[in-house]
Structure 1
Amino acid sequence: MKTFDYSRADSPEAAVQGGAVGNTRFIAGGTNLLDLMKLQIETPERIVDISRLDLNEVEEGEDGGLRIGAMVPNADLAANPLVTARYPVLSRALLAGASGQLRNKASTGGNFLQRTRCYYFYDTAVPCNKREPGSGCPAKDGFNRIHAILGTSDDCIASHPSDMAVAMRALDAVLVTLKPDGDRRRISIHDLYRLPGDTPQIETVLEAGELITHVELPPPPVGKQSYRKVRDRASYAFALVSVAAIVAVDDGRITNASLAFGGIGPMPWREDAVEKALIGQVPGDAAFNAAADILLADAKGFGSNDFKIPLARRTLIAVLRELTGDAA
């Protein structure tokens, strides 16, 4: 690990002022950043510790939604009574991630910003466009079992690793941030992430020194909720395919559907067309397969990850059967 300067912020305002200087990173739980620093993939000149900021509350809004502080540990958020009662898809997604020890440390804000677990990104002996722009993407022709099948580019096929962010996208979360100039902005999770294109090293729309302070959830959605994660082992493994779903059925037809996917894209993946195709349909494999056809119309495997295409279909259909009570 390379040497760096360290400071501890006593307020969000102080944090963003420090974060705007040079090559600086914020550290909260540090469950991803410290690993990257040890491997010299991240080499910040300065670390601003935000772990003691007063951003660790989960508050109920007047509209029935939630306002979640960015420093709330994943474990605490998963166990919060308001979350388990109203947003079980979020609780289940959090509990599916990492290990108990890591969930105790990892922060809500940091979870959105964890970086890909692509083997080549973590191996500094090989090229990686995300790590060194313009150097190449060996994953395309290499071992790419965990990589994306949607939203990829010639420069990067890495997948996003978060479970929490998949559920947050299904729930239409909004991130509240503070910028070094004192401005605050509200960023829909639908606008937070960027596709890799020819700049895979730029992963979000956050500006230098911009700090996530809160996450806002709208009132609980109508319908049953589920999070299903398919992985290589029962715990402490990243998703090959995951689905966060909220589905409502009334009078024998689907009246609401919100679906987000993990493991298959460079960001938590969601497509309006998939949900629109389900609205008004009678639950059953015909409707479910039609939705999967739309989701996977542009899916592309790269050899080792070809299996994700049929796996995504089967996982989506299984979740839709579960939530609609259809066992066809």
Structure 2
Amino acid sequence: MRKKIAAYIFSLVLSGGVEATTLLNSSYDVSRELFTALNPPFEKQWEKNNPGDTLIIKQSHAGSSKQALSILQGLKADVVTYNQVTDVQILHDKGQLIPHDWQKRLPNDSSPFYSTMAFLVRKGNPKHIKNWSDLVRSDVKLIFSNPKTSGNGRYTWLAAWSASDLINRHNHLKIEKFMTQLLQNVEVFDTGGRGATTTFINSEMGDVLISFESEVNTIRDRYPQKGYQVILPSINIIAHFPVTWVDKNIRQNHTEKAARSYLEYLYTPDAQKIMTSFYYRVNNPKLMEKNKNRFPYTHFLKLEEVFGSWDQIIKTHFSSGGELDKLLATRHE
């Protein structure tokens, strides 16, 4: 009898007898586990508030910049949950898919959670890694994602540059020397954050994996037998994770209500509790205080004070002929 009922319901879905709404979330490379945990509670909430409407949330994951390009090339994502502002802004600048003031539509400049950069080292921390300055020693091999293709990699680059700027008292030549040695020590430049994690874990390459605090803590917890240790450097930056619905796509997909509700849900205490369980930081003082043991103190430098606007950051560091290209050329000499 149960099989017959299930078959009947399935046939109704196929024939349109039961309404179903599908959302596609285009997200960055290492957010799979987070949204796997976030989506089911919202799907249940939606179906409770919209009787007869089944909600299915699908995910698309890759490097943040690559994901944005896919949408510009026609991927009909309803919402984006990226790890840098520029990859959302380009949806307006290059495709007119969202309005110019998209950051004003949700709290905290449309960033419901954030992270920072941390190091994952092997059992016993054999290279005695404590801070950014240890990463430029000649005996240390690094794994982090390519700043050309990954927001994760860009934040790594900017955090290292910011630390060097402070250490070297704004001496540009010394900063470039520091960053050149950092690049020299990179064993593999994967295109995305999860690829870098796989290289470090499965291929057992590198002494240090540099990635989001959320990623390295999750990996440490997932492989307790490996004895990995997480090192949070004393100087760091905030990595905001901006979100928005894609206006042109939700109009075509008729998913306006679900898309907006989904992103608003990310700001709720229930959703943010899930985020902190995956070591993401949130703008909820009570929740952060409750989880203070999960989030050690680090001195945050403000990107805009070190580098200026994101437009200036891209132009100076990541555009063709910028600091990254210039120092990479030195690395290969």
Fold-level match, TM-score > 0.5?
no
TM-score tier (shorter): under 0.3
- Normalised to the residue count of structure 2, the TM-score between the two structures is 0.24
More helix by share: 2
User: In terms of Rg, which structure is larger?
Assistant: 2
| TM, length-normalised to structure 1 | 0.24
